[in-house]
Amino acid sequence: MKRFECGTLVPGCDWHTRAEEEAEVVRRAVEHLKVTHGEEIIRPSMVDHIKERIRNDQSQTA
């Protein structure tokens, strides 16, 4: 499971997401940045910043 916490990119934001695939985490993060933070253009460098902050999530619950 992969996890992204928006606060690592946008200080003060509590939003986070988890998914099995990194691509799905990136997709959700991009959508969040557009809807919540008003980003109209997501440049490749922003996708790189998201990917750099994705972590393996070991706290899976049954």
pLDDT in tens, 7-22: 999 999 999 999 999 9
Residue 62 placed within a domain: no
pLDDT at 62 over 70: no
Look at the chain and report how many structural domains it folds into. Answer: 1
Residue 61 placed within a domain: no
Residue 45 placed within a domain: yes
Q: pTM value?
A: 0.89
23-59 in b/e burial notation, b at 16+ Cβ within 10 A?
Answer: eebbebbeebbeeeeeeeeeeeeeeeebeebbeeeee
Q: Identify the domain containing residue 9 by its residue range.
A: 2-56
Query: Dihedral of the CA atoms 55, 26, 43, 41 (nearest 10)?
Result: -130
pLDDT at 61 over 80: no
Residue 51 placed within a domain: yes
